[in-house]
Structure 1
Amino acid sequence: MPEVSLIKGMIFDCYSTLIDIQTDESSFDTYDAVSKWLQYRGVKIDPSVLKEEYRNKAKYIVESSAESHPEIKVEEIFESICDENSMWEIDAKELGIETSRVFRSSSLRRIGAYPQSLMFLEKYRDLPKCIVSNGQRVFSELELRFLGLHQYFDFIIFSSDVGYKKPDTRMFERALEIMGIEAHEVMSIGDTPENDIFPPQELGMQAMHIHDAWKEVEDTEKKDENAEK
C-alpha cells in the first residue's frame, strides 16, 4: 500500500471484494418461487415462460444497445413482464421493483460481508470512499445496508444507474467527478484486474487487488500482536 498521505480517496468494487455472494439465476426453483409469489400480485406466468421472457428481454436490451459494455435495469424487465401478464389492474412499475427483489432473494444461495474487507474499511474510515459496481441498485444497495457496509461509503455508483458497466472507464470517471479528487490521489480496490485494476490505471489512478488489501490488514494485526508481547 502506498503512503496513506498520498491517497485522498478510495474506490471499491462490490461483489467478491466487499460481499461474498453466490446466486443461481439459471435454476428452475428461482423462477418457480417468483412465479408463485407473482400469483398473489395479480400476475400469472409459468416459471419456464418467466425464465425465457426474462432472458429474452435482457438479451434484446444488451444486443440493441450502442454501448460496448451494456447493462440492463432488472426492475424495468420485470415491469414489462408483469404488465404483459397481469390478470387485473396493477402498478407495474412498483411491482417490477418488488419482483426484482423477490427474484434476487429466490436466487440467493450465500451472502455475507468479508470480515477482512470490513477491517480494511474501518482502518481507512476517514478517507472518502466510493463503490463502483457492476450491480443492480434495486437490490444491491439493500444488500450493502443489511450487511453493514453502506455506512462506510460517501458515494455509490451501480452500472444499472448508467446503462453501461466496467471495464468502461466512464464508471471511474464518474466516481472521480463526484469525489472531487485527482486520479493519482485515488486507489481502486477490487478482485477483477480487467474491471478494477486496468481501467482505473488507464486514468492515472493507483490500483490494488483486494487480496493485497486483506494482506495489509493481516500484517498490521501481526505487528500489533507482536508489539503486545
Structure 2
Amino acid sequence: MFESSEIKGMIFDLYGTLIDIRTDEHDFYTYDTVSKWLQYKGVKIDPEVLKSEYYSKIAERMAVSKEQYPEVRVEEIFADICSENAIWKSDTNYLGIETSKVFRSASLRRMRPFEESMKILKRYNAIPKCLVSNGQRVFSEKELRFLGMYKYFDHVIFSSDVRYKKPDHRIFKIALDRLNLKPGEVLSIGDTVENDIVAPREMGMEAMHIYDAWLSLLK
C-alpha cells in the first residue's frame, strides 16, 4: 500500500488510465450514422462530406491557435457544420452539442473501467483528487459519470475547457491551484509518458505510470 506521508493529493488521467476505451473516428459507419441522425434535425450532409468537413475544420482551428498544444471543442465544430448544411432553422449551438454525443456513440467500440483503477479510487477515496484529461467535456464527463467514477473526484479538468492540452504545464497548474497543494505534495498517475509522467515531474510532482500504480498502490 502507498504510504508516502508527503502525498496530499492525486491527479489522474482518464483514457487508458481509468477507462479502457476504443473508438473509430475514421470508419464510414460512424459518419453514416451521424448523417442519418442529422436528417431528422434538418441538416442534410453526405457521410463522406461530413467526415471531410469534420477533419478540415479541426485542422483549421488548430492552425490558427497560438497554443503549442491546441485543443478544439467538438461541439463548436459540429455546430458550424450544422449551420452550413441546415435545411430549416434550428438552434445549431444546441445541435452541435447533441451531434457530438451521437458522433461519440457511433464511433464507440469499447468502453469499460479498469477494475484495478477503480480499486485505487476506492482505496484512496480520502485523498483529494483532480482529473486532468485531454478530452472533450461534452461527452467525456458523461462517460465518467456513467461508469461511476465522477464522484471520486473533487475537481475535473478537460482540455476542451481551456483549449490546450497536456503536456502543457498550465493545465496541471490549474489542477494544483484547485487542490490548493504544492507540486511536491501531489502524485500524478497516467498512461502516457510525455503527458502524465514527464510534464508533472518537470513541475516537481511525483509521477507514476498506471501499470506501476496498480502494482504499488494495491499491495
Question: TM (normalized to structure 1)?
Answer: 0.94
**Aligned equivalent of 1:52:** 52
Distance 2:80 2:192 in 1: 33
Counting only pairs closer than 5 Å after superposition, residues 76-155 of structure 1 correspond to structure 2 as 76-155=76-155
Distance 2:197 2:128 in 1: 19
The amino acid that maps onto 1:68 is Q
- How far 1:2 moved relative to its partner? 5.8
- How far 1:5 moved relative to its partner? 1.8
Unpaired runs of 5+ residues, structure 2, are: none
Counting only pairs closer than 5 Å after superposition, residues 33-44 of structure 1 correspond to structure 2 as 33-44=33-44
The amino acid that maps onto 2:48 is S
- How far 1:26 moved relative to its partner? 0.4
Secondary structure of the corresponding residue to residue 5 of structure 1: coil
**Aligned equivalent of 1:204:** 204
CA contact (8 A) 1:79 1:95 kept: yes
Alignment deviations for residues 168-195 of structure 1 (CA, whole Å, 9 cap, x no partner): 1111001001110111000000001100
The amino acid that maps onto 1:3 is E
Alignment deviations for residues 75-104 of structure 1 (CA, whole Å, 9 cap, x no partner): 000000001101101100000000000000
CA contact (8 A) 2:10 2:128 kept: yes
The amino acid that maps onto 1:54 is Y
Q: What is the total number of aligned residue pairs between the two structures?
A: 219
Question: TM (normalized to structure 2)?
Answer: 0.98
- How far 1:150 moved relative to its partner? 0.4
Alignment deviations for residues 62-86 of structure 1 (CA, whole Å, 9 cap, x no partner): 1111111000100000000001101
**Aligned equivalent of 1:24:** 24
Structure with higher Rg: it is 1
CA contact (8 A) 1:10 1:128 kept: yes
The amino acid that maps onto 1:143 is E
Distance 1:143 1:212 in 2: 25
The amino acid that maps onto 1:52 is S
Distance 1:4 1:126 in 2: 14
CA contact (8 A) 2:82 2:95 kept: yes
Q: What do you get for the CA RMSD once the two structures are aligned?
A: 1.0
Specify whether residues 168 and 128 from structure 1 end up closer, same or farther in structure 2 by C-alpha distance, changes over 3 A only: same
